């Protein structure tokens, strides 16, 4: 039985949609009965230097493991995002840049101009010695040059590694060291909600850290005009090296399986993982899913509020939309600056038709009431999307009814850094919606639910979400660590890709993601590894031990709760608490700021010394009455003191 309400496809939307019910059924049918035809259909979206004759070539079996798509095809991702549009859309606006400060006039960049800017940077990079296969780290605010930087790398076959502008020097250094990048592209400063982010100073600090000697050059975009240290000859102004370059640049001919980019993401253990995506399959999947899930038309104005530092920005700001020749808004700012109407004002100003944001932003704006929304028109909107974390039905309803005026379908899109593109989401002209559900798999995608032992569950069920077979956008490996790739994703359930998510499937076959089942916390749609926060805490001389768990948070989805045991002879106080919060911000960045630090006289451990996180999670959730079996604890008294401690802190 499906208990939740159903929101049918609006008939007017269905009538004009790219994919209606019949088309959707035909696509699913093709993907099942003649998968080669379906995979070829995706490849045919792209311009190839040499069209692939090979399509899917994959196996998740340990002995025969391979993930290859369109392997003998040759193409360039940048050419697919820019050059091929020039003849028909050279004067079409590709990017509308909306600055942090609403008083700054928007900039409109056509496909022709974007092409020229990318070519100039591509030439400059080559002159600076960047070759095909070299890694380039990009640490920029949400400005047009961030898109330019990524595409210029793709054009010359360099592998970009974008590091989110909210990360601290240590995190930048770790990511530079892991892939040995040769060049860093940054800006003097970033601007977010009127606050300045010292990007260049952060890069300077990172490059003083061990393991970063591979960097030969730092290109600096002059963005705010702030005074910064330029260290010659290492540091060069972006405009100085690009302005003198011709605005054409010969693209590299890349194999479909050549790396396109590395993007670091947090896992349940150890240091961040360098997720590696390749060229042909990734681009085909990003492009097709962007068109299908957002029902993209040529006259749409699309806006995804993500940052290019996350996979959403890679697939649904840069590669998908630009491969599709879309017009889109690039937004530097934040949802609540200068006030809670900002998103809706930008939608009116640029007549945005397709809007894609995160549940955390929706919840934060919902808290401000309907007035900031209702004083705007939003008449241009025809579709809304969400991504990054489960959306609670109440927030879904508000988004649909108040923001979308009950006219616009809401596409809740489930995917991951690792999946490259959307895997479970409605096709808005065909799929009836259920608030809180990402609905159904896209054609060609084979999700399944398994129990803890890996047995497949049929029909209505709750379990762990796996994928039984490959799709073109799948990551290919972890950079320089294929063994960890296999171990992380293919060892829990042999022969299947394990997502790390728990999920329920209802009687209609709809998927309801319940959240991570591993030691990853999803804070405002950002993945934080508990192990990373713990290692930042234990690095403090007064900390003996730390354990970090997530707990439900009204706005952020999950908050960070840290249990900290101090060294003997150190008494806890508020000054130390503030110091520890600072230590985490300095080591990782503000996104990992602990919401709570609870002093723990000791941590609950099994007799073999393993911390029982299940218990810590329950205490943090305020569900101490459901601790379950605690008989394996070495010292059950520890739990009582933590429960009391949590109560006192409330
Ligand atoms: C994790 C992936 C996908 C781009 C942004 C996040 C959670 C993502 C949804 C959704 C429920 C979602 C999952 C997933 N997640 N989208 N629509 N409903 N949960 O990418 O940082 O790689 O995180 O985000 O837990 O595993 P990411």
Condensed to tens digits (0 to 9), the pLDDT of residues 241-279 reads: 999 999 999 999 999 999 999 999 988 877 889 999 999
582 annotated as a binding-site residue: no
* Residue ranges per structural domain of the chain: 12-443+458-504, 524-649
543 is in an annotated binding site: yes
Whether ligand 1 lies within 6 angstroms of the CB of 307 is answered as: no
Nearest CA to ligand 1 atom 5: 388
Cα of 506 vs centre of ligand 1, distance in Å, is: 20
CA dihedral 257, 258, 261, 265 (to 10 degrees): 50
Q: Are 528 and 516 in contact (CB under 8 A)?
A: no
Ligand 1 mean position, distance from CA 389 (Å): 5
Choosing from 268, 416, 441, 488 the residue with most ligand 1 atoms within 8 A of its CB, the one to mutate for a pocket test is 416
Q: What is the CATH number of domain 12-443+458-504?
A: 3.40.50.12780
Q: How far is the CA of 10 from the centre of ligand 1 (A)?
A: 27
Cβ–ligand 1 contact at 265 (below 6 Å) = yes
Residue 420, token pair as written in the block? 């490259």
pLDDT at position 650 is 59
Is 196 labelled a binding residue?
A: no
Ligand 1 atom index nearest CA of 412: 17
Instruction: Establish whether 336 is an annotated binding residue.
Output: yes
| Residue ranges of the chain whose pLDDT lies below 70 | 1-3, 649-650
Question: Which residue has the least CA distance to atom 20 on ligand 1?
Answer: 416
Q: State the pTM of this model.
A: 0.96
C-beta 312 within 6 A of ligand 1: yes
Distance between Cα 235 and ligand 1 center (Å): 36
| pLDDT number for residue 2 | 47
From the CB of 518, is ligand 1 less than 6 Å away?
no
Ligand 1 contact, 499 CB (< 6 A): yes
Backbone phi and psi for residue 331, each to the nearest 5 degrees, phi listed first: -115, 125
* pLDDT for the residue numbered 293: 99
Strands of 226-270 (E only): list them.
Answer: 235-237, 254-255, 259-265
- 312 annotated as ligand-binding: yes
Our answer on whether the CB atom of 516 is closer than 6 Å to any ligand 1 atom is yes
Ligand 1 atom nearest 499 alpha carbon: 26
This complex has an ipTM of 0.99
Does 540 appear as a known binding residue?
yes
Q: Is 417 annotated as a binding residue?
A: yes
Is 219 buried (19+), middle (13-18) or exposed (0-12) by CB count in 10 A?
buried
Residue 385 beta carbon below 6 angstroms from any ligand 1 atom? no
Q: How far apart are CA 69 and CA 471, in angstroms?
A: 8
Ligand 1 test: best mutation among 525, 526, 550, most atoms within 8 Å of CB? 525
- Tell which residue, 282, 275, 279, has the closest CA to residue 478: 275
Distance 526 CA to ligand 1 centre (A): 8
Q: CA 68 to CA 281: how far, in whole Å? A: 8
Read off the pLDDT of residues 561-604 as tens digits, 9 standing for 90 and up.
999 999 988 899 999 999 999 999 999 999 999 999 999 999 99
Burial 450-476 (b: 16+ CB within 10 A, else e): beeeeeeeeeeeebbbbbebbbbbbbb
Q: Is 522 annotated as a binding residue?
A: no
Cβ within 8 Å of residue 514, ≥6 positions away: 390, 462, 501, 502, 503, 504
Cα of 516 vs centre of ligand 1, distance in Å, is 9
| 56: three-class secondary structure by DSSP | strand
H-assigned helices in 91-190:
111-127, 144-156, 169-179
Whether residue 355 contacts residue 301, with contact meaning beta carbons closer than 8 Å, is answered with: no
CA of 466 to the centre of ligand 1 (A): 14
Give distance in angstroms: CA of 421 to centre of ligand 1: 11
Q: Which CATH superfamily is domain 524-649 in?
A: ANL, C-terminal domain (3.30.300.30)
pLDDT of residue 201: 98
Q: Tell me, what's the pLDDT at 87?
A: 98
> Can you tell me the distance from the alpha carbon of 69 to that of 80, in angstroms, rounded to the nearest whole number?
17
Q: Which atom of ligand 1 is nearest to the CA of 425?
A: 17
Calculate how far, in angstroms, residue 565's C-alpha sits from the geometric centre of ligand 1.
32
Residue with tokens 């800017």: 117
Kindly state if the Cβ of 604 falls inside 6 Å of ligand 1. no
Contact at 8 Å (CB) between 563 and 642? yes
Given this model, what pLDDT does residue 4 score? 75
469 is in an annotated binding site: no
**Span from the CA of 414 to the centroid of ligand 1 (angstroms):** 6
502 annotated binding-site participant = no
Pocket flag, ligand 1, residue 527 (CB < 6 Å): yes
For ligand 1, whether the C-beta of 522 sits within 6 Å is yes
Q: Which atom of ligand 1 is the closest one to the Cα of 386?
A: 17
Closest ligand 1 atom to Cα of 515: 25
Q: How close is the Cα of 585 to the center of ligand 1, in Å?
A: 23
pLDDT for res 1: 43
Distance 394 CA to ligand 1 centre (A): 19
């Amino acid at each position: 039985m499906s208990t939740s309400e159903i929101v049918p496809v609006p008939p007017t939307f269905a009538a004009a949609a790219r994919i209606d019910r019949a088309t959707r059924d035909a696509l699913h049918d093709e993907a099942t009965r003649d998968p080669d035809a379906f995979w070829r259909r995706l490849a045919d979206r792209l311009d190839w230097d040499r069209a692939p004759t090979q399509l899917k070539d994959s196996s998740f079996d340990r002995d025969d493991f391979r993930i290859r798509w369109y392997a003998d095809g040759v193409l360039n991702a940048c050419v697919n995002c820019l050059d091929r549009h020039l003849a028909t859309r050279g004067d079409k606006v590709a990017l509308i840049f909306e600055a942090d400060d609403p008083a700054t006039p928007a900039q409109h960049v056509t496909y022709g101009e974007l092409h020229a800017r990318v070519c100039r940077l591509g030439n400059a990079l080559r002159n600076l010695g960047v070759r095909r296969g070299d890694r380039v780290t990009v640490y920029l605010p949400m400005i047009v040059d961030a898109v330019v930087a990524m595409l210029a790398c793709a054009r010359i076959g360099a592998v970009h590694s974008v590091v989110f502008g909210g990360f601290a020097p240590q995190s930048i250094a770790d990511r530079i060291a892991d892939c040995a990048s040769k060049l860093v592209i940054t800006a003097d400063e970033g601007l977010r909600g009127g606050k300045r982010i010292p990007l260049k100073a952060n890069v300077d600090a990172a490059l003083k850290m061990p393991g970063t000697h591979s960097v030969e050059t730092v290109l600096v975009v002059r963005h705010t005009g702030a005074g910064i240290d330029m260290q010659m000859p290492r540091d060069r102004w972006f405009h100085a090296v690009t302005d003198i370059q011709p605005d054409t640049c010969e693209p590299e001919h890349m194999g479909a399986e050549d790396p396109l980019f590395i993007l670091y993401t947090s896992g349940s253990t150890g240091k961040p993982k360098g997720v590696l995506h390749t060229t042909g399959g990734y681009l085909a999947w990003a492009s097709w899913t962007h068109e299908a899930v957002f029902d993209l038309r040529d006259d749409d104005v699309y806006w995804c509020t993500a940052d290019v530092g996350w996979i959403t920005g890679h697939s649904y700001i840069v590669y998908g939309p630009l491969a599709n020749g879309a017009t889109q808004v690039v937004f530097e700012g934040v949802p609540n600056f200068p006030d809670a109407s900002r998103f809706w004002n930008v939608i009116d100003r640029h007549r945005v038709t397709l809007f894609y944001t995160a549940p955390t932003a929706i919840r934060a704006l919902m808290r401000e009431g309907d007035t900031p929304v209702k004083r705007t028109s939003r008449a241009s909107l025809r579709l809304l999307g969400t991504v990054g974390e489960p959306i609670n039905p109440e927030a879904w309803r508000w988004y649909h009814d108040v923001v979308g005026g009950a006219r616009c379908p809401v596409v809740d899109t489930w995917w991951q850094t690792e999946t490259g593109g959307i895997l479970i989401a409605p096709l808005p002209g065909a799929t009836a919606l259920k608030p809180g559900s990402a609905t159904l798999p896209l054609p060609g995608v084979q999700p399944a639910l398994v129990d803890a032992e890996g047995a497949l569950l049929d029909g209505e069920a709750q379990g762990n979400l796996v994928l039984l077979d490959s799709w073109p956008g799948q990551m290919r490996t972890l950079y320089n660590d294929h063994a960890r790739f296999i171990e992380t994703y293919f060892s829990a359930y042999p022969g299947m890709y394990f997502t790390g998510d728990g999920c329920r499937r209802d009687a209609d076959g709809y998927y309801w993601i319940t959240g991570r089942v591993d030691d990853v916390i999803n804070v405002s749609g950002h993945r934080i590894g508990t192990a990373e926060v713990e290692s930042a805490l234990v690095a403090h001389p007064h900390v003996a031990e730390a354990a970090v768990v997530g707990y439900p948070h009204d706005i952020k989805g999950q908050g960070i709760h840290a249990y900290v045991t101090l060294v003997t002879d150190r008494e806890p106080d508020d000054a130390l608490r503030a110091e520890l919060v600072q230590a985490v911000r300095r080591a990782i960045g503000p996104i990992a700021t602990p919401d709570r630090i609870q002093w723990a006289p000791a941590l609950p451990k099994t007799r073999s010394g393993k911390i029982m996180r299940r218990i810590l999670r329950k205490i943090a959730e305020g569900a101490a009455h459901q601790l379950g079996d605690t008989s394996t604890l070495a010292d059950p008294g520890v739990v009582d003191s933590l429960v009391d401690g949590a109560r006192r802190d409330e």
